[in-house]
Chains A and B, each alone.
Chain A
Amino acid sequence: MTEAGGGGFRRHWFRYVTGALAALVVLVTILIVFRLVLDSRPTWSEWGLAFVTRTEWDPVRGDFGALPFIVGTLLTSLMALVIALPISLGIAILLSEYAPRQLRDPLIFVVELLAAVPSVVFGLWGIFVLAPLVQQHVVPLIASSPLGFFPFFGEPGPGYNLFTASLILAIMIIPIIASLSREVLMAVPREQKEGALALGATRWEAVRHVVLAYGRPGIFSAAVLGLGRALGETMATTMTIGNSLGLTFDYFQPGNSMTAIIANELREAASRLHVSSLVAIGLILFAVSFLLNTMGRLILMRVQARGV
């Protein structure tokens, strides 16, 4: 867009100044990684990678392990994804294939508003509305249904549990997965759909065999990005998950997550090892979400390049 070479700084100062700001964004990312690694060093030198598989968490005795929190984060975000993915896909198909134009824009608007509600407000609602509801109605319902035979739905416990946290996470990641999938589905070439319809396929058959098949990599990347969001969600999780310290695989029992333990303990952590263990959990969290985000973005970029 600009002519190459010549002119020097006087002519191109603007390019250099904005370039320096862009470089700052790159530097900040490097600084974040550097700080996380630096501040978590005591933990890695104490236990090495075994920190990830240790289950004790006792600040008084100076005993730290990340496994209960890693398990809690995985259980809640995977359950959130299981709940959110079909719902998001339904919304994406409705908005891209079926909804008339006048209805589509307002609906997209409403779904995006869901993404704008602050996490802490979902947490507040979770504490006073959803958790009691889950305890009194949802947990007994699942426990008495065929789903109750799965070992990870054990004895009904309190309302603050892994399942309640998963539900809130699902609500919070639906707008992300739905809007990304909708964009992917809308990028499917029109001729492909029309071809199927011309051959006598019903709308649904065209969606299933053409649109979904064509959009599969894009939907996968939307799910990956949604999972990344669920992993890092903090306040809504902290306020509903129950904040227990032991290892549990039971959705109906209080659990904990990587974000929740940091939110609960970092401001009161006194010992060096306690702080560094919390930062170490932060580093693991950062690494995983960086990886998921990168993966999701790369696939999405490739899909969009193909779609144009």
Chain B
Amino acid sequence: MSSHPIAAAESMPTRLRLRLLRDHILVALCIAALLCAVVPLVWVLWEVIAVGAAHISFEFLTALPAPPTVGGGGWGNAIVGSVVVVGMAMLIGVPVGVGTGIYMSEFGNNALGRSARFLSEVMAGIPSIIAGIVAYGLIVVTMGRFSAMSGGVALAVLFIPVVAITTQEALRLVPVDQREASFALGVADAPTTLRVVLPAAMGNVLTGIMLATARIAGETAPLLFTAFNSRYWMEGLDQPTATMPVNIYSYAISPFEHWHEQAWAGALVLVAMVLLTNVVARTLWARRARFIAGR
């Protein structure tokens, strides 16, 4: 407090001193608030690393699950399953999401653009379990069985709005002059967007896709009743499939100590993948955004 130029003055009236004291107390409270957010994060990460690392092995990453009483076994099939289900969601979601983002940014100054923008923002905040319910009613019930495909569709529903919004934001960072220069040369909208605007924003579009992928990779609720689970290697897109998030859930609520340990090990693999993707994407985004805007 003494570092404050006014506080140092001897003749400071009590009332002012009180006001400054309150100022300092409130800064302290704000710092306490920040700690309230940071402590759980560090605690969760610490627990995942400390407990999980002890139970990760080559067998865990590559083998099939073993019965809980036997010990050993691994999540090889769940890791493959997660990659396939997330890959399917991306296969559907990237073209639709990026295309929507392009339309919203470049041609979207109309009713369709406004509705797509509004619905993307609202749907990005909708409970993820809803995507699962719809995929369940639409695909699982119709096909008569759980499948990797239905899981991929459910995740795609969550993936598309996020990619659409980030793509739109990325394209809007590209200066209007570049488009105008291209149009002035008589170039049509397709080559302008594909050869001028999109390449300039490509880094940010890709980081947006990375962030959205990291988000759906951890989604569990929509997979519970779509991809379901399986104890075997994946047999096809139309078959029930194990995934890492669902495994974490079912192993965690099981009564077996050995499975609890594996749940922590699986959480470590998942968290490492998700957070690493996030860190890389956010670092790239910040750098490119500054680069494009010329700051």
Footprint of B on A, CB under 8 Å? 1-3, 7, 11-15, 17-26, 28-29, 31-32, 35-36, 38-39, 86-91, 93-94, 98, 105, 107, 109-114, 116-125, 127-129, 171, 174-175, 178, 202-205, 207, 225, 228-229, 231-235, 238-239, 259, 262-263, 266-267, 278-279, 282, 285-286, 289-290, 293-294, 296-297
Further contacts, 10 of them, CB under 8 A, given A112-B282, A171-B40, A205-B23: A25-B119, A32-B157, A36-B134, A90-B30, A91-B37, A113-B41, A116-B275, A207-B26, A225-B125, A266-B225
19 of the cross-chain contacts (CB-CB < 8 Å) are A18-B103, A25-B96, A25-B120, A32-B134, A90-B32, A91-B30, A116-B215, A118-B218, A119-B220, A119-B221, A120-B220, A120-B248, A123-B252, A124-B263, A203-B27, A204-B22, A232-B125, A234-B127, A297-B121
Asked if A122 and B44 sit within 8 Å, CB to CB, the answer is: yes
Does B274 touch A at the CB level, under 8 Å?
A: yes
Known: A18-B103, A22-B116. A94 touches B23 (CB 8 A): no
Of B63-71, B189-197, B230-238, the one with at least 4 CB within 8 A of chain A:
B189-197
Residues of B within 8 A of A207 (CB): 26
Bound: A118/B23 CA distance, A:
37
Task: Select which of A25, A36, A262 is within 8 A of B164 by beta carbon.
Answer: A25
Interface of B is mostly: helix
The distance in angstroms between the C-alpha atoms of A116 and B134, with both chains bound, is 24
| Bound form: Cα–Cα A91–B40 in Å | 15
- Contact yes or no, A124 B100, CB < 8 A: no
Nearest B residue to A225 via CB reads: B125
The answer, yes or no, to whether B267 is at the interface (CB within 8 Å) is yes
Does residue B99 face the partner (Cβ distance < 8 Å to A)? yes
Task: Write out the residue numbers on chain B whose beta carbons fall within 8 Å of the beta carbon of A229.
Answer: 125
Which of A12, A25, A178 lies at the interface centre, i.e. has the most chain B CB atoms within 10 A of its CB?
A25
| Among A39, A113, A231, contact of B275 (Cβ-Cβ < 8 Å) | A113
With contacts A263-B224, A266-B136 taken as known, whether A121 is within 8 angstroms of B130 at the C-beta atoms is no
Interface residue B9 (Cβ < 8 Å from any Cβ of A): no
With beta carbons under 8 angstroms apart, the residue of B104, B179, B188, B218 that contacts A1 is B179
The reply on B256 being an interface residue by CB < 8 A is: no
Q: Could you tell me which B residues sit within 8 Å of A by CB distance?
A: 19-20, 22-23, 26-27, 29-34, 36-38, 40-41, 43-45, 47-48, 95-96, 99-100, 102-104, 106-109, 112-113, 115-116, 118-123, 125-134, 136-138, 146, 157, 160-161, 164, 176, 179, 183, 188-190, 193-194, 214-215, 217-221, 224-225, 228, 245, 248-249, 252-253, 260, 263-264, 267, 270-271, 274-275, 278-279, 282, 286
Contact yes or no, B183 A3, CB < 8 A:
yes
Chain A residues with Cβ below 8 Å from B286 are 105
The distance from the CB of B78 to the nearest CB of chain A, in whole angstroms, is 13
Of B27, B127, B219, which contacts A259 at CB under 8 A?
Answer: B127
